[in-house]
Amino acid sequence: MQILITAGPTREYIDDVRYLSNASSGKMGYALADAACAAGCEVILISGPVHLPVPKCVEYVAVETTVEMRDACLKHFPHCDGVIAAAAVSDYKPAQRVTGKMSKTGGPITINMIETDDVLAELGCRKSDQWIIGFALEAENARENALQKLRAKNCDFIVLNAPSAIGADDNNVELLGPDGAMQGSWQGPKREVAEQLIDWLKQTFAS
Ligand code: CTP
């Protein structure tokens, strides 16, 4: 089984030295990549900038911006059986990237922001007989919002987790199907949660 896994944050540049990003550590995505390799899968890991060692077993693609993550995903997805989208993709980016370095103005400034491409939704539009597992990071109405994302992005399943997962060593997740039925719920160190998710995946999509 060949799996595409996205991990880590993306960065959106304001000028050539400043960017907006988020506190994702990449730990969940990297744990999934490592667990998938250990279970005998071939893994392509597309990752934003993180401070983690790259698992030796993966084909690794380093990206920085959401556009780079999108391009890498669209390139590799056709050769994969499915995708697990664990990346914390930036939702907004500055409408324009300033060349060089912006100088201080002596007063407040406003930066116009526009939405980034939704990488997962684009994969959802393009999937053939492939499966797609998204992640949903939800602060409130968690299951309802996660299911909405599953449908909007044409996922087969979605992993629901909470903002406390960002940067943490442990996670507490529920895996939901399109009808809202819970397929599994796991908690503990991210590597153990990853192992259980990959076990489930192999049983569910074994060909
Ligand atoms: N995602 C993506 N591209 C984006 C935003 C999110 O591919 N521009 C993916 C994430 O990798 C994750 C899923 O979509 O698998 C849901 O991400 P999440 O941050 O929970 O939700 P958003 O779609 O960003 O919506 P919101 O921030 O409003 O909750």
List the domain boundaries for the chain.
2-204
Reported as a pLDDT band with limits 50, 70 and 90, residue 20 is very high
For residue 104, the CA-to-ligand 1 centroid distance in Å is 32
Q: What is the average pLDDT score of the chain?
A: 96
Residues with Cβ within 8 Å of 170's Cβ and at least 6 positions away in sequence, in order, are 187, 188, 189, 190, 193
Instruction: List active site positions.
Output: 22
Which token pair is 13?
Answer: 């540049």
Residues with Cβ within 8 Å of 191's Cβ and at least 6 positions away in sequence, in order, are 31, 34, 35
Compute the distance between CA of residue 18 and CA of residue 151 in angstroms, rounded to an integer.
35
The number of the ligand 1 atom at minimal distance from the alpha carbon of 119 is 7
For residue 107, the CA-to-ligand 1 centroid distance in Å is 33
pLDDT at position 207 over 80: no
Among protein residues, the one with the nearest Cα to ligand 1's atom 14 is: 120
Report pLDDT for 60: 98
Answer whether 91 contacts ligand 1 (Cβ < 6 A): yes
pLDDT at position 124 over 70: yes
Residue 151: enclosing H or E segment and its boundaries?
Answer: helix 142-152
Say if residues 150 and 158 touch (Cβ distance below 8 Å).
yes
Answer whether 122 contacts ligand 1 (Cβ < 6 A): no
Reported as a pLDDT band with limits 50, 70 and 90, residue 118 is very high
* pTM of the predicted model as reported, rounded to 2 decimal places: 0.96
Reported as a pLDDT band with limits 50, 70 and 90, residue 123 is very high
Q: What is the pLDDT of residues 127-164, one digit of tens each?
A: 999 999 999 999 999 999 999 999 999 999 999 998 98
Report pLDDT for 206: 79
Supply φ then ψ for residue 170, to 5 degrees.
-110, 160
Which token pair is 165?
Answer: 């997962």
Reported as a pLDDT band with limits 50, 70 and 90, residue 35 is very high
Q: Which of 92, 55, 89 is nearest to 72 (CA)?
A: 89
pLDDT at position 167 over 90: no
Which CATH superfamily groups domain 2-204? Answer: CoaB-like (3.40.50.10300)
Q: Which residue of 4, 12, 118 sits with most ligand 1 atoms within 8 Å of its CB, as the best mutation to test the pocket?
A: 118
Q: What is the pLDDT of residues 38-93, one digit of tens each?
A: 999 999 999 999 999 999 999 999 999 999 999 999 999 999 999 999 999 999 99
Q: Please list, residue by residue across 134-160, b when 16 or more beta carbons sit within 10 angstroms of its beta carbon and e when fewer do.
A: bbbbbeeebeebbbebbeebbbbbbbb
Among protein residues, the one with the nearest Cα to ligand 1's atom 24 is: 91
Q: How far lies 161's CA from each of 15, 30, 46, 170, in Å?
A: 33, 16, 20, 11
